[in-house]
Amino acid sequence: MDRLPLGQSGLSVSALGLGCVGMSHAYGTADEAQSFAAMRAAIEHGINFFDTADLYGAGHNEALIGRFIREIGRDKLVIATKFGSLPPDASGLPSVNNSPEHIRAACDASLKRLGIDTIDLYYMHRRDPAVPLAESVGAMARLVEAGKVRALGLSEISAASLRTAQAIHPIAALQSEYSLWFRDPEDDVLPTCAELGITFVPFSPLGRAFLTGTLAATSFASDDIRSTLPRFQGDAAARNRGLVDRLRGFAEQRGITPAQAALAWLLSKNRGRQTVVPIPGTKQVKYVIENAAASAVALTAEEVAHLETIFAREAVAGARYSEIEAARAGN
């Protein structure tokens, strides 16, 4: 699999990464043996960029990856983790902490759980508007100076905030949701990343599995985040399934799967100074292998345009988040 630069950090990562959240958090129960098998398959198929966060499973996901690192060896992986998003507070609302004190403590805790000396890419998971970026990004920069972090990243942040942060310390990557059915980053975030030489890392590049065409129902367990997301519910889900049916038809004509078509569309955005590294998440070996094969699929300009016509923004039904979650994104 091709390697792509991680911003201007000097690090390089596989053209596709592995989102590890579902091994501990947000998508129902997971099995450790199954998760280890999926991570081994990723390595075997050229994927070296693993994404986690201290939020995922309240530290469980980092500890899981730490055990895998001890098995496979530190030099085989580029590790990205995140700080700042906290579990819901007593009121039931999610919260954010970007204070310098929290950042220092969170980094040390992540390093311990991962069992490593240095985090390759350390993201601010969500921005707290109450904390000036100069304070939070400044604290992150001091972690680089201390050798605890190699490169800095931001997640779900606006183009304006990205510019402000970049002026404080070089930002290697910006992570946000981006896929055929959520294309808002194209308005200003993606162009800003290209201008500044910052790698864009799409999470949920397969629409939380909706774009794979494998979701047989829209009824999810209470511990599955999709049970709260509007575009997976009722009439919105029914309309969106029609789009996926058209994606499936396109994929069948190309001899690939819908997931591979959706990932190939994202990879087609790599041109000039634009670097896009999707991190599809899975805990199953068969999907790791299927996703990895998408890196070899080249779409023509006409095919890219056709997919974008199918998934025109006005055609996608339902908001991507509940109002509570939406309020935390894009600061």
Catalytic-labelled residue, pool 27, 56, 123, 287: 56
Helix (H, G, I), strand (E, B) or coil at 199: strand
**Residue that is written with structure tokens 């039904």 in the block:** 317
Q: How far is CA 319 from the centre of its chain?
A: 18
Specify whether 27 is catalytic: no
> Residue 94 carries which side chain, given as an amino acid letter?
P
CA-wise closest residue to 103 among 154, 69, 61: 154
d(CA 294, CA 258): 10
Could you count the other beta carbons within 10 Å of the beta carbon of residue 58? Answer: 13
Phi then psi for 39, rounded to 5 degrees? Answer: -65, -40
Buried b (16+ CB within 10 A) or exposed e, 202-218: bbbbbbbbbbbbebeeb
d(CA 162, CA 156): 10
Q: How far is CA 282 from the centre of its chain?
A: 12
Active-site positions? 56
